[in-house]
Every structure is written in structure tokens, then in C-alpha cells.
């Protein structure tokens, strides 16, 4: 089954925030992405609202409910009380928990599952009680014990952090090596009953090798590289290009 594509709208929101004007519209670009066959929309409402604002969340929820009910909303964030309240208010189908410090420039590492198993156990328990699918951001080099701990939190999925893989755009040998390590981690995760997502710095160029090595990726969430391409090809054509790169028949 080819990986599904969830379009991350952070970069669209970042562009919108440059001026006190309502364009580019996060929901308008989200609609084009879903019309072109994306399986969902992802946002990462950071505490400083540098890009996606809390006021963007309900319009995205309404867009999916009213016009694309077969697609999904995925919210990413650090599980502080503010974020958990946003999740419980806007009810995304999936919540992706990341260990980000508010001052971080971007998400650049996964959870230390051994160190955070109490925090994650309690937060995942709260989210599972409310029926959310929970994914935990992972470095992708975890051993079986760490992945077992991740599974024992009650989480449904891990999301492989593919930043280092994306950074190998000029080093095919290193890309191959990292893809093989991600495949190893994904296979152990699957054997423990965890589904596998992936995301960060993925592009049309690097997706084919990743999905070849890691055929059990359920969903990739992509924003930066996809938005860059959308400036060149338009959002609709870009989503089709990324879907093909995931191995989808388009």
C-alpha cells in the first residue's frame, strides 16, 4: 500500500504572516491540496504561533468536515497543556507528539523514549481516552527496547524523523545508509504493533528511495519542500508529483 500524503501548511502560514493580510490563505491552499488527492492536512501550531495560528485550526477542521470528510487532520506539537487543549478543542484524527522546545527553529529530533516514558504514558493515555490516533516523533535509530517503550505508552504510530535523510540530497551513499537504518527501525516498530509515519525535509527527489526501503510507511507529512515546489508548479500539480513520488497511481 503506497504511503499516504498529508500536506503540512506551516510554510503557507509563514508566508501569510508576513503582512497583515489574509493571503495566501491556509484553507484555500489546503483545499487545492485535498482536491488534488492529498489524504490530509498537517499543521504544527507552535507556542509562538510563528506560522500556523491557533485561529487557523477550526477553519481547517471545518474544511475537512464540510468538504473532504474522507481525509484527515493531523496536529503536531509538544504536549503541554495549551497544545492538548487545542487538540481536545479541534479534534484532529491524528496527534503527532514532538519533543520540541518552544525556542527551537524547527523539529530536529525525536523523543528519548526511555527518559520520557512517564510523560508520554500519561499524555498518550489522555489522548487515547478521547479517541485520537497518536503518533510519536522518533529519531529512527531506536533499538527494540526503546520502541517497545514507545508502544507501551499506548501510541499507535511512530513518525520517523527524516531530517538527516533529507539533508543527504548531495550524498547518495549516505542517503542509502540512512534509508537502510530507517527501514530497520520501521521493521522493528511494525513487529511491535506500531504503524509508521515519516516526515521532515522530504522531497520529490528523495521520496522514491525512502519508500523503496521502507514499504510500510503509512503516511508522510510534507510541508517545506512541497511548498517550495508549489511556488514553481502550483499546489495541485505539486501534490500530484508528490503522490507519484510516494508510489501512488495518479
Ligand X SMILES: CC(=O)[C@@H](O)[C@H](O)COP(=O)(O)O
Among ligand X, ligand LD2JLWAY, none, residue 72 binds (CB under 5-8 Å by kind) = none
Q: How far is CA 153 from CA 88, 134, 182, 194, 237, in A?
A: 19, 10, 21, 11, 39
Q: What minimum distance in Å lies between the beta carbon of 194 and ligand LD2JLWAY?
A: 16
Selecting among 72, 90, 195, 200, the annotated active-site residue is 200
Return the closest-CA partner of residue 231 out of 14, 38, 54: 14
Choice from 4, 16, 157, 200 touching ligand LD2JLWAY (CB under 6 A)? 200
Per-residue binding string, ligand LD2JLWAY, 94-133, x by CB under 6 A, is: ----------------------------------------
How many residues touch ligand X under the rule CB under 6 A: the total is: 13
Joined grid coordinates for residue 157: 504510530
Nearer to ligand X, 16 or 46 (CB): 46
According to CB under 6 A, which residues from 7 to 46 bind ligand LD2JLWAY? Answer: 8, 42
Active site residue 90: no
Q: What minimum distance in Å lies between the beta carbon of 114 and ligand X?
A: 21
Residues 6+ apart with CB under 8 A from 104: none
Choice from 223, 230, 240, 246 touching ligand LD2JLWAY (CB under 6 A)? 223
The CA distance from 43 to 62, in Å, is 14
Which residue(s) pair with 87 in the sheet? none
Q: What minimum distance in Å lies between the beta carbon of 249 and ligand X?
A: 26
DSSP state of 2: P
Q: For the chain, give the number of residues.
A: 250
The CA distance from 92 to 89, in Å, is 9
The CA distance from 179 to 130, in Å, is 35
Nearer to ligand LD2JLWAY, 5 or 149 (CB): 5
* Contact in structure between 155 and 135 (CB atoms under 8 Å): yes
Per-residue binding string, ligand X, 206-225, x by CB under 6 A, is: ---------------x-x--
> Would you count residue 49 as binding ligand X (CB under 6 A)?
no
DSSP state of 245: H
How many residues touch ligand LD2JLWAY under the rule CB under 6 A: the total is: 13
Q: Name the one residue in this structure whose C-alpha cell is 510523560.
A: 119
Q: How far is CA 130 from CA 24, 109, 126, in A?
A: 33, 27, 7
Active site residues: 44, 76, 200
Residues that bind ligand X (CB under 6 A): 8, 10, 44, 46, 76, 98, 106-107, 137, 199-200, 221, 223
By the criterion CB under 6 A, which residues form the site for ligand LD2JLWAY?
8, 42, 76, 159, 199-202, 221-225
Amino acid at each position: 500500500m503506497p504511503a499516504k500524503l498529508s500536506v503540512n501548511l506551516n510554510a503557507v502560514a509563514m508566508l501569510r504572516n508576513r503582512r497583515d493580510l489574509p493571503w495566501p490563505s491556509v484553507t484555500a491552499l489546503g483545499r487545492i491540496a485535498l482536491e488534488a488527492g492529498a489524504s490530509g492536512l498537517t499543521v504544527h501550531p507552535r507556542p509562538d504561533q510563528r506560522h500556523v495560528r491557533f485561529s487557523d485550526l477550526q477553519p481547517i477542521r471545518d474544511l475537512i468536515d464540510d468538504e473532504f470528510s474522507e481525509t484527515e487532520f493531523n496536529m503536531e506539537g509538544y504536549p503541554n497543556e495549551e497544545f492538548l487543549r487545542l487538540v481536545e478543542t479541534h479534534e484532529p484524527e491524528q496527534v503527532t507528539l514532538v519533543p520540541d522546545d518552544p525556542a527551537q527553529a524547527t523539529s530536529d529530533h525525536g523523543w528519548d523514549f526511555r527518559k520520557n516514558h512517564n510523560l508520554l504514558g500519561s499524555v498518550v493515555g489522555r489522548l487515547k481516552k478521547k479517541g485520537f490516533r497518536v503518533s510519536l516523533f522518533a529519531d529512527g535509530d531506536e533499538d527494540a527496547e526503546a520502541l517497545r517503550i514507545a508502544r507501551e505508552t499506548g501510541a499507535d504510530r511512530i513518525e520517523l524523523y527524516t531530517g538527516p535523510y533529507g539533508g543527504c540530497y548531495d550524498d547518495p551513499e549516505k542517503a542509502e545508509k540512512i534509508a537502510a537504518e530507517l527501514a530497520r527501525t520501521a521493521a522493528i516498530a511494525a513487529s511491535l504493533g506500531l504503524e509508521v509515519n515519516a516526515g521532515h525535509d522530504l522531497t520529490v527527489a528523495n521520496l522514491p528511495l525512502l519508500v523503496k526501503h521502507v514499504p510500510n510507511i503509512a503516511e508522510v507529512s510534507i510541508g517545506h519542500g512541497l511548498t517550495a515546489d508549489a511556488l514553481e508548479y502550483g499546489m495541485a500539480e505539486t501534490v500530484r508529483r508528490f503522490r507519484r513520488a510516494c508510489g501512488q497511481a495518479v
